[in-house]
C-alpha cells in the first residue's frame, strides 16, 4: 500500500519543493495550508512573512502544477491561543518570546499532526532544513543539522518528540537554498524566486509593541529608565517596547552608549548598563525536551546556542529537576534573554533544549 504524506505548504519555495520531492519519492501526497490569522490581525500584508492569506494562492498554484489534492485548514483559534497569546503574555512579563518555536511546537507538530492522523496520513512533511535519523543502537529518533549550515533550522525544532520525529519528513535535508530554487524554476513554480520569510508573520512591520497594543486594546504605561544602581536616567514608553541587549530607540541623550540589561515588571523599570554588563555564563531553562534520551540524569557537556543565528559554544548542562536545568557556558555570552530558547548540540546531533527563565544567577 502506498504511504500517505501531508505536506504543510506555506506558499514559499521551500515547502513547494518539499511537496514536489515527496511526490517524486512515490508517496500519495496531499498539500495543506494552515490559515493562522487574518489581515485584520496582522494589520498589514508583507511579502516577507509566511502563512498570510495571499500565500494560500501561491500554495494552491503549486499544488495544481503538481496535480495533488490541496486543502486549507483554519487554525486561527488555535494559533491565537497557543502562539499570539503566549507572545503577548511573554512581553507583558518582561520576556522576549520566539513565536516561531511555539508555532512549530503547538501548531505544525501538534495540531497539524492530529489532523493528519484524522485524515489517515502516515507522515507530515515540511520545508525545514533539518535531518531525521534513527539511532540503530537505541532505536531513538534523532534530529540533526541540515547539510547547508547557512539554512539549518534545527534551533526552532528542538521540541519535537519521539513520536513526531518518527512521522515527519524533511525532504530538503541534504539541499542548499540554491538547489531548492533551481528545482522550483525547473518545475515552473511561480514562487521560485519568492523572498524568504523574515518577520514574525502576525507583526510583519516589525512593530511588536504596536501589534500588542492593537491586539489587546491595552495601554502600557511609561516608567523609568534606571541604571544598575537605581539612578533614574529618563522615561521609557512602556516595558513591552524593549528587549535585553537593545541600544537603539531608547530616546535618551546619554554621554555614552547604554544597553537594556533587564526589565523589572513589578517596578515598571527598564534597567540600563554598559555593554560588558550583558555578558554572563550561567542561566536556567525550563520545559526541557531531550532527544537521545528521556531525561537528563547528570551533568552533560554540549555545544549550546541561545539565539537562532548564533554559533554554538561549549557549555555544561546541569539537571535541576523533571524539566529544568542550569546551563554554564565556558566563556561569557552576550545578552542571554529570558523567553528565548537554549538549544544543545553534540556535533550535528540535537541533544535537546528549553526556554530560558533566569539569566542572572
- For 177-192, how does the pLDDT look when each residue is reduced to its tens digit (9 = 90+)? 999 999 999 999 999 8
Please report, for residues 75, 240, 273, 305, the alpha-carbon distance to residue 340 in angstroms, rounded to integers and kept in the order given: 24, 15, 21, 10
Cα–Cα nearest to 86, from 357, 339, 342: 339
Q: What is the pLDDT of residue 107?
A: 96
Q: What is the DSSP letter of 342?
A: E
What domain range includes position 269?
221-273
Overall average pLDDT of the 251-273 stretch: 95
Lowest mean pLDDT among 93-97, 133-137, 321-325: 321-325
Lowest mean pLDDT among 117-131, 196-210, 223-237: 196-210
Strand ranges across the sheet with 70-74: 70-74, 28-35, 4-8, 123-125, 168-169
pLDDT cut 70: percent of the chain above it: 95
What does the block give as the cell for 73?
A: 485548514
pLDDT cut 90: percent of the chain above it: 86
Q: 352: domain CATH number?
A: 2.40.30.10
How sure is the predictor about 202, in pLDDT bands with cuts at 50, 70 and 90? confident
Overall average pLDDT of the 319-341 stretch: 95
Q: Are residues 19 and 47 in the same domain?
A: yes
Annotated binding site for ATP: 8-15, 34, 127
Write out pLDDT tens, residues 28-67.
999 999 999 876 555 554 444 555 557 899 999 999 999 9
Which amino acids are annotated catalytic? Answer: 103, 201
140, 134 in Cβ contact below 8 A?
yes
Write out pLDDT tens, residues 346-359.
999 999 999 999 88
* 198 has pLDDT over 90: no
Q: Are residues 29 and 153 in the same domain?
A: yes
Q: Are residues 252 and 288 in the same domain?
A: no
Overall average pLDDT of the 311-315 stretch: 96
Convert 155-191 to b/e letters by CB count within 10 Å (16 or more is b).
bbbbbbeeebbebbbbbbbebbeeebbebbeeeebeb
| Dihedrals phi, psi of 164, to nearest 5 degrees | -65, -45
Q: Are residues 177 and 283 in the same domain?
A: no
Please report where in the chains the cell 524533511 appears, as a residue: 170
Q: Are residues 168 and 235 in the same domain?
A: no
Q: What is the pLDDT of residue 20?
A: 98
Please report, for residues 45, 179, 200, 290, 321, the alpha-carbon distance to residue 300 in angstroms, rounded to integers and kept in the order given: 45, 37, 33, 12, 14
Which of 241, 273, 305 lies at the terminal end of a domain, its last residue?
A: 273
How sure is the predictor about 200, in pLDDT bands with cuts at 50, 70 and 90? confident
Arithmetic mean of pLDDT over the chain: 93
Could you give the residue ranges of the DSSP H alpha helices within 120-236?
A: 162-166, 177-186, 208-216
- For residue 312, being part of any structural domain is answered with yes
Q: Are residues 44 and 152 in the same domain?
A: yes
Residue 259's SS3 state is: strand
Whole-angstrom Cα distance, residue 326 to residue 345?
A: 16
- For residue 31, being part of any structural domain is answered with yes
Whole-angstrom Cα distance, residue 180 to residue 161?
A: 27
Q: What is the pLDDT of residue 149?
A: 87
- For residue 197, being part of any structural domain is answered with no
Q: What is the DSSP letter of 3?
A: -
Annotated binding site: 8-15, 34, 127
Count: domains in the chain: 3
Which of 273, 289, 310 lies at the terminal end of a domain, its last residue?
A: 273
Q: What is the pLDDT of residue 322?
A: 84
Amino acid at each position: 500500500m502506498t504511504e500517505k504524506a501531508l505536506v504543510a505548504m506555506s506558499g514559499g519555495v521551500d515547502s513547494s519543493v518539499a511537496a514536489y520531492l515527496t511526490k517524486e519519492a512515490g508517496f500519495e501526497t496531499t498539500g495543506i495550508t494552515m490559515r493562522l490569522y487574518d489581515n485584520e490581525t496582522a494589520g498589514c500584508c508583507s511579502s516577507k512573512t509566511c502563512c498570510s492569506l495571499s500565500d494560500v494562492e501561491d500554495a494552491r498554484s503549486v499544488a495544481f502544477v503538481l496535480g495533488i489534492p490541496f486543502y486549507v485548514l483554519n487554525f486561527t483559534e488555535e494559533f491565537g491561543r497557543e502562539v499570539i497569546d503566549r507572545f503577548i503574555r511573554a512581553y507583558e512579563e518582561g520576556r522576549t518570546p520566539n513565536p516561531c518555536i511555539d508555532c512549530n511546537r503547538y501548531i505544525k507538530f501538534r495540531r497539524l499532526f492530529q489532523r493528519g492522523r484524522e485524515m489517515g496520513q502516515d507522515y507530515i512533511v515540511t520545508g525545514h532544513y533539518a535531518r531525521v535519523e534513527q539511532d540503530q543502537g537505541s532505536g531513538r529518533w534523532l534530529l540533526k543539522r541540515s547539510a547547508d549550515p547557512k539554512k539549518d533550522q534545527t534551533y526552532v525544532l528542538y521540541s519535537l518528540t519521539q513520536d513526531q520525529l518518527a512521522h515527519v519528513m524533511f525532504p530538503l535535508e541534504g539541499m542548499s537554498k540554491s538547489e531548492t530554487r533551481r528545482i522550483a524554476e525547473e518545475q515552473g513554480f511561480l514562487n521560485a524566486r519568492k523572498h524568504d520569510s523574515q518577520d514574525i508573520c502576525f507583526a510583519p512591520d516589525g512593530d511588536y509593541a504596536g501589534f500588542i497594543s492593537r491586539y489587546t486594546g491595552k495601554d502600557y504605561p511609561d516608567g523609568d529608565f534606571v541604571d544598575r544602581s537605581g539612578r533614574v536616567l529618563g522615561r521609557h514608553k512602556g516595558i513591552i517596547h524593549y528587549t535585553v541587549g537593545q541600544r537603539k530607540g531608547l530616546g535618551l541623550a546619554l554621554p555614552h552608549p547604554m544597553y537594556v540589561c533587564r526589565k523589572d515588571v513589578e517596578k515598571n523599570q527598564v534597567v540600563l548598563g554598559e555593554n560588558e554588563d550583558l555578558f554572563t555564563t550561567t542561566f536556567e531553562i525550563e520545559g526541557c525536551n531531550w532527544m537521545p534520551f528521556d531525561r537528563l540524569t547528570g551533568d552533560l557537556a554540549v555545544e549550546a546556542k541561545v539565539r537562532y543565528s548564533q554559533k554554538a559554544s561549549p557549555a555544561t548542562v546541569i539537571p535541576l529537576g523533571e524539566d529544568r536545568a542550569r546551563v554554564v557556558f565556558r566563556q561569557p555570552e552576550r545578552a542571554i534573554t529570558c523567553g528565548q530558547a537554549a538549544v544543545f548540540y553534540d556535533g550535528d546531533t540535537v541533544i535537546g533544549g528549553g526556554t530560558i527563565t533566569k539569566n542572572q544567577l
